[in-house]
Chain A
Amino acid sequence: MKSLSKLSQRTWWIVGGVLVVVAAILPLLNISIPGVLPGATYTPGTLQLLALALLFASLALSYHLLFGTAGMLSFGHALYFALGAYGLGIVLHETELTLLPALGLTLAIVITAAYLLGSLSLRVTGISFAMVTLAFAQAGNVLVRRNPGLTGGEEGLRLDTEHIPDFFIGVVNTRNLYWLALALLVVVFVVVAWFENSRAGHAVTATRENELRVRVLGLRPFGVKLMAFVIASVLASLVGMVHLLLQSGTTPRATSADFTLTILVIVVLGGVGSRWGAIVGGIIYTLLDQRLTALASSDAIDGLPAILRIPLSEPLFILGTLFILVVLFLPGGIAGAVQRLSTGTSATPSERKLLEEAE
């Protein structure tokens, strides 16, 4: 058998293209996977879930750019997702702009914010960087909760549909939103892949491994890191905007530290440093979360004794435990496990090293 790792770059792109085509025609098909999907693939409920899975895949990819590629452990990535969601929601509500100009305006705000906060945060590295990003995100969380007039406060912000094109509104049009989410995933993937293969991308990877060497080469680590930070933030904000459309609103949870941790969990589950891992992680996470929530309220769980019922009825408990087990026993996450299975090796030092370098 030809091993996965030996497949050429081009073959991967072809496989990816085929997968995108398959995903694109799913809403036109009648496929049921009991236990995984809530209904047939053409039903709005299932499409909603699948679109959510694609969005989490995109979000994980944007975080992969930050953490996996550039080695920046951020605890505030949710801030930019929230900035996209709340930004677009507020612009649509407070101005007379239609969707596209509103989107453009929000993007401009996001780029400015990411540039400013990125410049500040990147003055420190490692754990201090993680703490600063966490603190900024926390400030965002406070602002959202404290300004109910603008953001809806704890209740969350409802999407103002007045200036939204009709084909994005209503349950019957869920498949349009699904296609939008799919298109976004493709865009995010292409941008991330392009950046990683660009000169700046190589420089930022080199920065992760050895900042000094990059300086010696005459490159400014700060510049390329900031670039990666801003690109990752913009991508996250785009995901936030589509998420707003898909869910017809957003809640303060999008600004919380827990939400960033969720993204981190997805990326680690999928495999740090792997684009495919991030996508697979995002999709599996969303489906798992949904199924575990369904499981939690099922009769089968209800009948169990308390010692089993209580943990099993908490999806986050199961996910958290799963996450710990992956970190302890499956370095490299899903992507790493697939790699090992296909090459028949148990070589993990390089993956471990990658995590170490990310410090």
Chain B
Amino acid sequence: MTESILTVAGLNANIEGQQVVEDVSFEMLPVGVTALLGRNGVGKTSTLRAIMGLIERSGEVTIAGERVDREPTHRIVQRGVGYVPEDREVFASLTVNENLRLAERDSAPNRQLIEELFPDLIARAGQLAGTLSGGQQQMVSLARALVNDNRVLLVDEPTKGLAPLIVMDVAKALERAAQTVPVLLVEQNLQVVRMLAEKAIVLEGGRVVYDGSAEELLGNEALTKELLGVA
């Protein structure tokens, strides 16, 4: 039996006393992209944040067979979890290079990969991240996660608010990353999901309502409409 890389069982989470994740359970594929889907406000971002320990949570979270749900965020990351948050959260007052340096945990960071994927960033190494465009900031945020050898990546709406051309750049970078590390992807852009994801998990009201093949879900227009509200 192959050990699942990330398993979530009975996960609950609160923000200021309001339950935002309710009894969520799922397993990630050990390879490729698993998409976490659902309408706006169903708790996708909160689920990722709960896994990361960034909000108050209870339930079981297992990474490569080890429980991490009682560990502080930085320990979870050190176990090999790369996190690309919603809205990018780059450090605006730091340069691109400083953003990357801060993220480097390994003694031999994958600078090569970053240079290949985002040549633009290397050219702008000395620029303050706050002065970059949204797309460039997203690349910094992705690069911060890819610069280390991770066991799993959690990526939250990486294409949100980006121009269509940039969306494809980001999607290609994710596709490339997913060749070496499994990715849990929250994404509203179904085109990107179609392109990348093999498995899909759909949340509604903080709970899992679909767990299966991404292709089957997106191939079924009625189901897609029912679960995601869009075709």
Contacts and interface: CB of A to CB of B under 8 A. Distances in A.
Interface in B10-43: 16-17
Q: Is the interface of B mostly helix, strand, loop or mixed?
A: loop
A353 B18 CA distance: 13
Interface in A175-218: 209-210
A209 B18 CA distance: 12
A209 B16 CA distance: 9
On chain A, which size bracket covers the interface?
under 10
Interface in A299-350: none
Nearest to B56: A349
Contacts of A209: 16
A353 B56 CA distance: 12
A209 B17 CA distance: 10
Contacts of A210: 16
Contacts of B17: 353
Interface string B59-95: 0000000000000000000000000000000000000
A353 B17 CA distance: 9
A283 to B, nearest CB: 33
A160 to B, nearest CB: 53
Nearest to B17: A353
On chain B, which size bracket covers the interface?
under 10
Q: Is the interface of A mostly helix, strand, loop or mixed?
A: helix
A210 B18 CA distance: 12
Contacts of A353: 17
A232 B16 CA distance: 28
A210 B16 CA distance: 9
Nearest to B18: A210
A205 to B, nearest CB: 14
A279 to B, nearest CB: 29
Nearest to A349: B56
Contacts of B16: 209-210
A353 B16 CA distance: 9
Nearest to A350: B17
Interface string A206-239: 0001100000000000000000000000000000
B164 to A, nearest CB: 34
A210 B17 CA distance: 11
A349 to B, nearest CB: 9
B120 to A, nearest CB: 38
A154 B201 CA distance: 72
Interface in B173-222: none
Nearest to B16: A210
A94 B74 CA distance: 65
Interface in A111-166: none
Nearest to A356: B16
Interface in A17-44: none
Nearest to A353: B17
B207 to A, nearest CB: 25
A357 to B, nearest CB: 9
B92 to A, nearest CB: 22
B98 to A, nearest CB: 28
B57 to A, nearest CB: 14
Nearest to A210: B16
A216 to B, nearest CB: 14
B121 to A, nearest CB: 36
Interface string B160-173: 00000000000000
B18 to A, nearest CB: 10
A353 B15 CA distance: 12
A232 B11 CA distance: 44
A6 to B, nearest CB: 23
A88 B17 CA distance: 46
A195 B17 CA distance: 25
B209 to A, nearest CB: 28
A71 B165 CA distance: 49
B160 to A, nearest CB: 23
A262 B16 CA distance: 31
B72 to A, nearest CB: 18
A209 B15 CA distance: 12
3 contacts: A209-B16, A210-B16, A353-B17
Q: Which 3 residue pairs of A and B lie closest in terms of their CB atoms, listed nearest first?
A: A210-B16, A353-B17, A209-B16
